[in-house]
Every structure is written in C-alpha cells, then in structure tokens.
Amino acid sequence: METTLRGVGVSHGVAIGEVRHMGTAVLEPPAKQIPAEDAEREQARARQAVDAVAADLNARGNLAGGEAQAVLEAQAMMAQDPELMADVDRRIAVGSTAERAVYDAFAAYRALLAGAGEYLAGRVADLDDVRNRIVARLLGVPMPGVPDSDEPYVLIARDLAPADTALLDPTLVLGFVTEEGGPTSHSAILARALGVPAVVALPGAGELAEGTVVAVDGSTGEIFVEPSAEKKAQLQAAAAQRKAALAASTGPGATSDGHRVPLLANVGGPADVPAAVEAGAEGVGLFRTEFLFLDDSKNAPSEAKQVEAYRQVLEAFPEGRVVVRVLDAGADKPLDFLTPADEPNPALGVRGLRTLLDHPDVLRTQLTALAKATEGLPVHLEVMAPMVADRADAKAFADACRAAGLRAKFGAMVEIPSAALRARSILQEVEFLSLGTNDLAQYTFAADRQVGAVSRLQDPWQPALLDLVALSAEAASAEGKSCGVCGEAASDPLLACVLIGLGVTSLSMGAASIPYVRASLAKYTLAQCERAAAAARAADSADEARDAAQAVLSGE
C-alpha cells in the first residue's frame, strides 16, 4: 500500500528504487586490560591505524576534488589531532587496548564538542565517522559505509559522513534519504554538487525495510513508499518534463520578460571551476577561500600559493564577475594559528571578519595576493567580508582593501540580522551586499544548520528570513547598489523567483543547480515574481510561504 513521508528536499530530481541501508557503525570494543609490556606495541598499532585512515580520507578527497576535498582533508586532520593522540597514548599506557583507547578518547572529545556550542556540535557526525574508521581498522572488520550492490538503489542512513557522500557513485546510488542533517549540512551541499536527489531530516527513515521500493522527490522532500504504477509514471513524467526544460534553457539568466538575473557559481577552489563553466555560470558569486587555508591548520598559505590558486579561478571567467570571500575562519572552520581553542561558543565569538581584524597580517597577505592575481586579467573582481555586523566592520574592511592597493569592488556579506536591519548604513562604506542565507537563517532563528531537529527553522522559505532579504535588497536599491544571494536558498528554482521578486539582483549557487534555476526564471515575468514574493511574505510558516508562491506562479 502506497504511503507518503515527508522530509526536507535538498537536491533536485526523482529517484525510484529499492532501499539499501548504510553499513552499521562499529561495535564498542571490549574493555580489557593489557600487560604493561604490550603498551608500546598497542600505541604503535593505534598510530598506524590513525595514519592509514587519514591517508584514506585524503585520497578520497583528492579523487572527489572541490568542496568535498576540503571537507575530507579537515576530517583527516581531525583523525591526527595531537591532543587526541596524546590521550590515546595515555589510555594505552594505563592498560587499554589500542581500539578501546581510541574509542574512549574520541568519546571524551565528542562530549566536549557536543557541549561547545551549536557550530562545533554539528561536527560530531564527522568525528564519529573518523572514530568508526579507526576502530574498524584496528578490529579488522569492514569499514562502515555505502553497501556493496551490483544494482542501483536508494541509500538510507541515519546521517551520511562527508567521506561517504563525496564518493557516491551516481550510477548506483539513485538517491539518498537520511534521518538527520539539514538543508545546509555538508552532505546536502555535496549531494547537490553530485546531482543526486536527496531528502534529509526524515524521522523514521531507518525503519524502511531493506528492499522496499521507494520514490524520492528531492525537490519536494516527499518519499513515496511502495508507489503505485500510476505514481511512478507521474513522477517520471514530471522528471522528463524538467529535463526537457533544462535542455531548452540556455544563455544568461533572465525572466520571461527579459529582466536580467546573473546566475553565478559557488566554488571552493580551482577544482570546482570546470563544472561551473559547463553549467553556463556567468561568473563566480562566492569563492570560498578558506578551503585553501584548511590545507594546513597550523600555518597560513604563502602569498605565492594564494596568488596561484586565485589566478586559476579568475582566468576561467574572462570579462566575468568573480566575487571572492576573504577567509571565514572560526566556529566550524577552526585554524590553529588564528582561532582560540577555548571559546565557550565559537559561533557567537571571534569568527569571520572579527578574526581577520584581530590578525591584520593574514588579511593583508590575502588582499595583496588577490591584487597580484588580477594583474593583466580583464576579470571584474569583487571582494567581500564575512560576518559583517555593522558600519564599523564594513569601514574597517574597506580601509584594509584600499591599503592593500586592491582594485576591486568591496562588499559585505549579510549573515547577521543586524546587517540586514542596518543595511543602508553598511552600504555607506561598501559597494555591494551578498546574502549568506545559511548563516543568516541560523542566527535569525538560533538554529544550527547541522542539526536535523531544528531543520524547519533552517528552511529558507521562513517568512522572517524573507523579510530580512527584502530589507537588504530595498536598502541596496535605494543606494543604487547590488544585492545578491550566495547562500543555498538561491539553488531552489521556485525560491529563486521569489528572491528576484524581493529585489535581489543576482543569484549564486552550486553549479548543478544553475540549469534548474535558469529554466525556472525563464517561465515567469518579473511582475509574477514580485507577486509571488509578496504572497510568501504574507504567510506565517515556511510551508505556507512555499505553497502561496507556487499558487501565484501557477496561476491558481
């Protein structure tokens, strides 16, 4: 009998297939004492296992490239954390086996993360995955992870670690469903990059029996269990219609009445550029430069290394617009040489621009590298600061850009509600705004973007969030300046129309989403988008806002 479940759709497309469950987590190793003379041997075993897991994660990252590479390299560094290893050695010295010492040391560190504020608590799933991989290697059992199958399937998991998501084979994994996670979690972002339909935050997903046929709609978040032949045909027809619309939609982004909407790509480095070019991106709306810094958490990359990486991205978009975000360190992206290790709540502490203003030499080197990278290139460079709270922040950043001799537009990201509320003041110091809707939602609703339990508050359709977008866009329009969106909200084809209706002037997203958004915008006039935006803002919930906008655009 067909039943319908609903989670949060995070990656477009439809997948129909049999359920396969993620491999089970490693069992807790037994607690047994070892003789003192075995301690050195056990410590060596632990170090070998840790190094092997770190090497495997780095290898997976090299294969995956782009954003996935940075995430996996961060996990590899987590595995080899000196404090963790010192704790493992200490536990072995007092009689624990290597596997039990690793298990207990990670458990202690896990408890610290879980209580260290929302951002770091969101890294617990990554930490658990690293622990499981090390313990599995020590026990000599299969690694937890994606099941072996010769036939395509729909993957079901409690959550997906980045190491698993990054190397999913789209020819076998038709789509995936998780019980936890949110629309801006690592797995969701990587799923969109892969083009794999995905639904997250579905309570009870793990109860779906192995082999059950399900249909996953990654756009609506609906899961149809044992769908009828009629439902399958309906979903497949809709998917075919979307595919045809994508193929027919080419060229620059625009509404059906010719209102131009530049469609830009979010990139983490040179490895992401080919997909952006292939998708027809008109430039880069968010170049996340922190991934360059995450290669070595103890030292900043040299000016020369930065120049090389920046130039590779800039050269890919001659005459195009490239918006670079300077280093966004802190919170879930800690760097040993920059961020304090003992902040009680890193998400609300020294992160983003605050970190850079505390370390002006790091900011100066990055801005100088950007200036040198543009030499001789016809690209239109724009540089923006993360986590701008007020006009003083914006002025400090603009002054630093000028002092570095940077010939570019200077901008501010709107990720803190105060920046949206006082956008016109901030625009006295900078030339553009860019809305990071992921962080803006999490700070507006006090809802961690990595926690599935509060995912409804991370929904970018929340009317309060749309109000803040509208405030920012109205302020930019009044000042004759631009206001783009570079958060994941821009990747939703329906919401993209609403954002344009709110006054947003450009949209930036993962490359895989660009064709969907281009096709959606091409179906509606600017006036229709404006009416849909007004209807969405008049609603009282995210679901009501989405339905109201859909009703307007479908002519109901």
Active site residue ranges: 186, 486
Instruction: Please give the structure tokens belonging to residue 136.
Output: 């599995």
Give 389-420 as a DSSP string.
-SHHHHHHHHHHHHHTT--SEEEEEE-SHHHH
Dist. CA 398–CA 440, nearest whole Å: 22
Dist. CA 529–CA 502, nearest whole Å: 8
Q: Which residues pair with 64 in a beta bridge?
A: none
Give 349-368 as a DSSP string.
SS-THHHHHH-HHHHHHHHH
* Residues 6+ away with beta carbon under 8 Å from 380: 283, 319, 320, 321, 322, 409
Give, as one character, the DSSP assignment of residue 260.
B
Q: Hey, is 326 helix, strand or coil?
A: coil
- Measure Cα distances from 118 to 121, 248, 331, 431 in Å: 5, 43, 9, 32
Q: Are 378 and 319 in contact (CB under 8 A)?
A: yes
Relative orientation angle of helices 82-93 and 98-114, to the nearest 10 degrees = 130
Relative orientation angle of helices 229-248 and 514-521, to the nearest 10 degrees = 80
Dist. CA 12–CA 246, nearest whole Å: 12
